Amino acid sequence: MSIKLYNTLTRQKEDFKPIHKGKAGIYACGPTVYWFAHIGNLRSFVFADVLRRTLTHSGLDVKFVMNITDVGHLTDDASDGEDKMIVAMKREGKTAYEIAEFYTQAFMKDIDRLNILSADEYPRATDHIQEQIDMVSSLEKNGYTYQTSDGVYFDTSKLKDYGRLSGQLAEEKKAGARIDMGEKKNSTDFALWKFSPDGVQRDMEWESPWGVGFPGWHIECSAMSVKYLDAPFDIHTGGIDHIAVHHENELAQTQGALDALQANVWMHGEFLTVDGGRMGKSLGNLFTVDDLIEKGFDPIDFRYLVLGAHYRTQLNFTFEALTAAQNALNRLRETVRAWEAPGGDIKEFEDRFNAALADDLNTPQALAVMWEMVDSDHSTSAKAKSLLRFDEVLGLGMDLYVAVPLEVPENVRVLVSEREQARIDKDWGLSDALRIKIAEVGYLVEDTDSGSVVKQK
């Protein structure tokens, strides 16, 4: 079955045609590691993971590369732009390398907790300074650069179709821009290499043919993506905020340096909003995985919530919505614990599930098919087999639950039988106290006609 993906570059859904038969190369713009990833960032990484898993599930041999932006870059090219890495160093009293290492490890832990599969490569910007310098040199040789007092810039007026990704021509952007251009020739021009300011000793700075400094923000992704994947490679992903600047500039750099289209398909995940608005540390509504865990959620509840929205629609995060996701996931887990071991499968549902994903990764539809299958009258062993196949893409960790009856620990079983005795004795006070005790160790006890049923909270 052919897989259709929406390509930002062509503004349409296209049949995905791998460049190399049977293979697919994906480059996902990764995290900037000066703080914890927030749940908005993580939504975009879940999207890239679903893409990767869908292609793998369809039989392709996928190479998935995600960069780690561990070099400080300015929030914009203006000389007074803030360097977020330096802000973090001051906040935490650490070196830039210590900050980057700490938050890289924190990121790895987060993606593991969200069942996001590890990338085949995690190139770090600081390990690829030479590749970046080489690319800037090629751009210089090909006539796309000029130098100002603070760095080497890409001259966007030199590239014939600059702006093709965002569909905004350089001229239009210029007309709409009211920013301080400094010494830049065009408002869309951007830094390829920045000089370290005089008298400032940076933790991260390197020698270059143009002077001591550090790379601009966009060059790392052009240089590293073509190092680990061919140019062009198949698919480049990121959040929608990357379209207009970061990806536009990556595409321009690769075109200018190598005369090649960087990637055939450019895919962008819509934003996660919180309570209907923007997320921000200053707004107090910026949550991390640890925040969700602290509030009693499993990180997979969040993954389930994300899968419930198509990646190209905005998703508004609320704790009510997360609770609904938690309830749905708990019902799924409880249901499948009672199933027989996997055997056989249900082709009708598998076909519909695959068709949903093949339609530009329609995960809400895929989840609907999954539930229809779960609630169907087929044998539980066939349902188990199909569910585990679905979970290769959904990544809900169902292998831990399918046909795995809940093992209630001895101490909980003792409390439950004490509570049953209390109920026989009509000692409701003791019965309630025991229910609370059982809840404290993570279990729920429900009273049914046939006695107490114990569930995991």
In the complex, the residues that contact Zn ion under the rule CB under 5 A are: 29, 221
Please identify, using beta-carbon distances, which residue of 313 and 417 lies nearer to ligand AMP.
313
**Which residues have C-beta within 8 Å of that of residue 75, sequence separation ≥ 6?**
81, 82, 83, 84
Please identify, using beta-carbon distances, which residue of 216 and 269 lies nearer to ligand AMP.
269
Tell me how far, at minimum, the Cβ of 330 lies from ligand AMP, in Å: 26
Q: Tell me how far apart the alpha carbons of residues 70 and 85 are, in angstroms, rounded to a whole number.
A: 8
Q: Tell me how far apart the alpha carbons of residues 370 and 6 are, in angstroms, rounded to a whole number.
A: 23
Find residue 237's DSSP bridge partners: 28, 267
Instruction: Verify binding: residue 309, ligand AMP, rule CB under 6 A.
Output: no
Please identify, using beta-carbon distances, which residue of 240 and 404 lies nearer to ligand AMP.
240
Tell me how far, at minimum, the Cβ of 67 lies from Zn ion, in Å: 6
Q: Tell me how far apart the alpha carbons of residues 69 and 75 are, in angstroms, rounded to a whole number.
A: 13
Tell me how far, at minimum, the Cβ of 373 lies from Zn ion, in Å: 38
Instruction: Verify binding: residue 218, ligand AMP, rule CB under 6 A.
Output: no
Query: Which listed range, 11-19, 159-167, 235-243, 425-433, lies at the site for ligand AMP (CB under 6 A)?
Result: 235-243
User: Residue 41 binds which entry of ligand AMP, Zn ion, none, with Cβ cut-offs from 5 to 8 Å by kind?
Assistant: ligand AMP
How many CA atoms does the CB half-sphere of 27 hold within 13 Å? 28
Please identify, using beta-carbon distances, which residue of 241 and 427 lies nearer to Zn ion.
241
Please identify, using beta-carbon distances, which residue of 103 and 302 lies nearer to Zn ion.
103
Query: Which listed range, 10-18, 133-141, 234-242, 354-362, lies at the site for ligand AMP (CB under 6 A)?
Result: 234-242
Tell me how far, at minimum, the Cβ of 262 lies from Zn ion, in Å: 11
User: Residue 398 binds which entry of Zn ion, ligand AMP, none, with Cβ cut-offs from 5 to 8 Å by kind?
Assistant: none
**Which residues have C-beta within 8 Å of that of residue 339, sequence separation ≥ 6?**
380, 381, 383, 384, 402, 403
Tell me how far, at minimum, the Cβ of 361 lies from ligand AMP, in Å: 15
Measured between its terminal Cα atoms, the distance across the chain in Å is 40
Please identify, using beta-carbon distances, which residue of 64 and 443 lies nearer to ligand AMP.
64
Please identify, using beta-carbon distances, which residue of 313 and 327 lies nearer to ligand AMP.
313
Sequence letter at residue 436: I
Instruction: Verify binding: residue 307, ligand AMP, rule CB under 6 A.
Output: no
Task: Write each residue from 23 to 62 as x if it is in contact with ligand AMP (CB under 6 A), else as -, in one continuous string.
Answer: ------x-xx-------xx-xx------------------
User: Token digits for 300?
Assistant: 């997979």
Footprint (CB under 6 A) of ligand AMP, residues 238-277:
238-239, 241-242, 269, 271-272
Candidates 12, 22, 43, 20; CA nearest to 317 is: 43
Q: Tell me how far apart the alpha carbons of residues 390 and 197 are, in angstroms, rounded to a whole number.
A: 53
Candidates 343, 385, 347, 390; CA nearest to 368 is: 390
User: Residue 310 binds which entry of Zn ion, ligand AMP, none, with Cβ cut-offs from 5 to 8 Å by kind?
Assistant: none
Using CB atoms, what's the residue nearest to ligand AMP? 239
- The answer to whether the beta carbons of residues 181 and 76 sit under 8 Å apart is no
User: Residue 221 binds which entry of Zn ion, ligand AMP, none, with Cβ cut-offs from 5 to 8 Å by kind?
Assistant: Zn ion
Tell me how far, at minimum, the Cβ of 175 lies from Zn ion, in Å: 27
Find residue 5's DSSP bridge partners: 14
Find residue 396's DSSP bridge partners: none
Sequence letter at residue 129: I
Footprint (CB under 6 A) of ligand AMP, residues 80-139:
none
Instruction: Verify binding: residue 385, ligand AMP, rule CB under 6 A.
Output: no
Please identify, using beta-carbon distances, which residue of 37 and 438 lies nearer to ligand AMP.
37
Cis status, amide bond into 299, omega within 30 of 0? no
Candidates 120, 122, 135, 119; CA nearest to 223 is: 135
Residues 131-165: b if buried by 16+ CB within 10 A, e if exposed: bbbebbbbbbeeebbeebebbbbbbbebbeebbbb
- The answer to whether the beta carbons of residues 139 and 147 sit under 8 Å apart is no
- The answer to whether the beta carbons of residues 366 and 395 sit under 8 Å apart is no
CB atoms within 10 A of CB 284: 9
Tell me how far, at minimum, the Cβ of 37 lies from ligand AMP, in Å: 7
Q: Which of 9, 265, 279, 306 binds ligand AMP (CB under 6 A)?
A: 279
Please identify, using beta-carbon distances, which residue of 44 and 186 lies nearer to ligand AMP.
44
- In the complex, the residues that contact ligand AMP under the rule CB under 6 A are 29, 31-32, 40-41, 43-44, 238-239, 241-242, 269, 271-272, 279
